[in-house]
Structure 1
Amino acid sequence: MFRLWSTSHQQEDDPLNHDAKINELKAAIGPLSGRSLQFCTDACFRRYLEARNWNLGKAKKMLEETLKWRSTYKPEEIRWREVACEGETGKVYRASFRDRSGRTVLILRPGMQNTVSIDNQMRHLVYLIENAVFNLPEGQEQMAWLIDFTGWTLSTTVPVKSARDTINILQNHYPERLAVAFLYNPPRIFEAFWKIVKYFLDNKTFHKVKFVYPKNKDSVELMKQYFDEENLPIEFGGPAILNYDHEEFSKLMNQDDVKSAAFWCPDDKPPHWAHGRSGAEVAPEPVSLTPAAS
């Protein structure tokens, strides 16, 4: 039995076997055109296979559901002007720094919730996930999340249904895009909410969620393995000043919108990254929004 398990495990880790699986998934999905063709790079096929432990049937179903979702939700068509009001408080934004692996970093501050429309909140989050992916450097496919619980209360938390929808979108339509999510110093009352939400997470995503408490040395050291300490805002135990400037961030997003619109060409011509490269080379470097404290 050990020999059978060992052989199977070796096949899963075999790059040649992975390439064969990717080709099988391509054939199973069939001919694509337009934005679906742009979306389905080799790297994309790999992420969906990894998310389903290289099970071809499950990966095919997952990818087909994403293509259907993208054709109706059209996340690549959301523009900052449509969701800017959601971002006025800086409740979700792309950080001016990357993690140690060069990943894009999203900062989430649920205590800064400023609206009541769940649909608009979701579009705002999807927009920023798309933007984070768009700004990944070449060779990097994942982002990191830093979640600050300053000011969070049960009255400002999102409904459970909204949390479930968020998790569904992240897990099922952006598989293997999240590298790690650090929940920094959540209050004790968050535990009740977490006990419900965690059941919506699949096993892979669950293990990417890390709780960090300032008085817990091990959790703090774990976070420092991912981030240069001088980049971290005070709210995350670092020396930098978190100074979200909505006007400056809006300028940055509007610039990215122009580049994104050009990138998602409406015709059927394969884009310049059709061989698995990301669009990072056309995205600007983040503008500094969190200058270090002097």
Structure 2
Amino acid sequence: MWSGRGALRGHLVAVGLSGVVGTCREESLRSYRLFAARDPRVLLGIDPEGAWGLRDVIALMARKCGVSADPGCVSGHDVIDPERTLAALDAFAGRLAAVARRGAPVLLGTGHPHRLIGFYGALADALSAAGCAVLTPAQGRCVDITTRFGLRTHTLDYVRGVGLVRDSEVGRPGCATGAHSHSPLPVRLALAAAEEAGGPLPELVIGDHGWVCGAGQLGFEAIGLADTDDPAPFVGEAEGLLSVVVPLDDGVRSDHYLPLTRYVLNRACLSQ
């Protein structure tokens, strides 16, 4: 069992979810510079109120994640403080418990389906069992997303109740493969479709990348996961747009997230 805090801390460090992570400093600094320049590729759907210059972003990420606060540190691998990850997971579980007690509707979505579909799918299963409606609005609709290969048409789909996008020319509906995406357009489409249908609307959005940032910017409570090269969710949390952001490496093997699932569900009293 990985429900204990000490055991989970050891696991986080052993597999690189926290501690020394796979994300390199150069990659993170590039994202921080782009964020400071308000590049939409890294804003992930938020419209920051603060100035957020490069030094401000570095200082925030040091506080939230534990990365180096020294702007002169320009190489090597990032470090995430596992205690910050654990504290955020506890807060994350608290928000799950609150929405489960109300039996309120939820929306889940990920831009990392290859890595995180199992984590979010288990949350969706547990919340559904607790009486929450797991929403799947706009399933099958097309959304045009700008990628490094140009404008591509994607299809919004749900796997185990978790939203994702897939290239319209690849794959089939219902399978777990999907596209890696930072775009807020899928959650905007989903929320607009839910509203057009007369509801219900989610009381909590759970996910990462554009799913949580886009939802938070629209005024929905949102919680999620984020790596050190994605400053937008942490800025969103600092400005009150997101409720909880868990710092961790979002690119490790999918099975390495299973202990986090057990821990969060135990903390939220949602274990089945």
Normalised by the length of structure 1, the TM-score is 0.28
Normalised by the length of structure 2, the TM-score is 0.29
**The structure with more strand, counted as a fraction of residues:** 2
Pick the structure with greater CA Rg.
Answer: 1
Structure number with higher relative contact order (C-alpha < 8 Å, ≥ 6 residues apart): 2
